[in-house]
């Protein structure tokens, strides 16, 4: 019969360990992919059900998005009591967000926008400190995106801007934003 190596344990134990480590590796890889995504989940459209996805696939195939149809933008998001997800990287429990009114969030963004436009502060620096979006780690940069990838008000505002322009206040289900088109 087969010999067991006392250092390695029984084959049943070995099988369990390998199964656990495969699951752990798969989770780490999944988390890494999610972190490296260039578009913040806070700004993506709400997800659809599997049935809706299958229906969409069967009805039409979308052409690949060419870079000519894409824009690039950075943004600053301030969440408030009415935001769909009341937590962020800097407020995981949502304590501040739950106490922030929509009007207060808008006032904060207006003051920030004025300081950026006047040259007192740089967009990416304030985004890194203030934004409730995980893109704050990249100075608010969302990377390139095309039509249909963002919530409609965010998309419309971004496409209406010229490169280098900063939007007025934009309201979405995620909160209130100012957007700077960068490409």
Residue in 74, 83, 135, 151 annotated catalytic: 151
Residue in 83, 131, 134, 174 annotated catalytic: 174
Residue in 40, 74, 75, 80 annotated catalytic: 75
**Is 59 marked active-site?**
no
Rounded to 5°, angle at Cα 181 from 175 and 183: 140
Sorted by sequence, the CB contacts under 8 Å of residue 166 that are 6+ apart come out as 113, 116, 117, 123, 178, 179, 180
What Rg do the C-alpha atoms of the chain give, in angstroms? Answer: 22
**Is 81 marked active-site?**
no
Residue 44 per-residue DSSP state = B
**Is 174 marked active-site?**
yes
Residue in 40, 74, 133, 167 annotated catalytic: 133
**Is 151 marked active-site?**
yes
**Exposure letters 141-177 (e unless 16+ CB within 10 A, then b):** bbbbbbeebbbeebbebbeebeeeebbebbbbbbbbb
**Is 75 marked active-site?**
yes
Q: Measure the CA–CA gap between 59 and 64, rounded to whole angstroms.
A: 16
Catalytic residue positions, numbered: 75, 133, 151, 174, 177
């Amino acid at each position: 019969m087969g010999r067991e190596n006392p250092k390695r344990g029984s084959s049943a134990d070995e099988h369990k360990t390998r199964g656990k480590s495969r699951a752990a590796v798969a989770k780490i890889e999944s988390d890494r992919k999610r972190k490296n995504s260039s578009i913040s989940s806070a700004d993506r459209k709400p997800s659809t059900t599997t049935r809706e996805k299958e229906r969409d696939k069967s009805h039409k195939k979308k052409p690949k998005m060419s870079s000519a149809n894409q824009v690039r933008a950075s943004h600053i998001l301030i969440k408030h009591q009415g935001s769909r997800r009341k937590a962020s990287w800097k407020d995981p429990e949502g304590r501040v967000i739950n106490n922030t009114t929509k009007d207060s969030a808008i006032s904060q963004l207006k003051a920030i926008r004025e300081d950026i436009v006047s040259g007192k502060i740089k967009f990416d620096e304030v985004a890194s400190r203030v934004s409730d979006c995980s893109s704050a780690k990249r100075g608010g940069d969302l990377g390139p995106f095309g039509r249909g990838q963002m919530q409609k008000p965010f998309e419309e505002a971004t496409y209406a801007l010229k490169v280098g322009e900063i939007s007025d206040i934009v309201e979405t289900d995620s909160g209130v934003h100012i957007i700077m088109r960068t490409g």
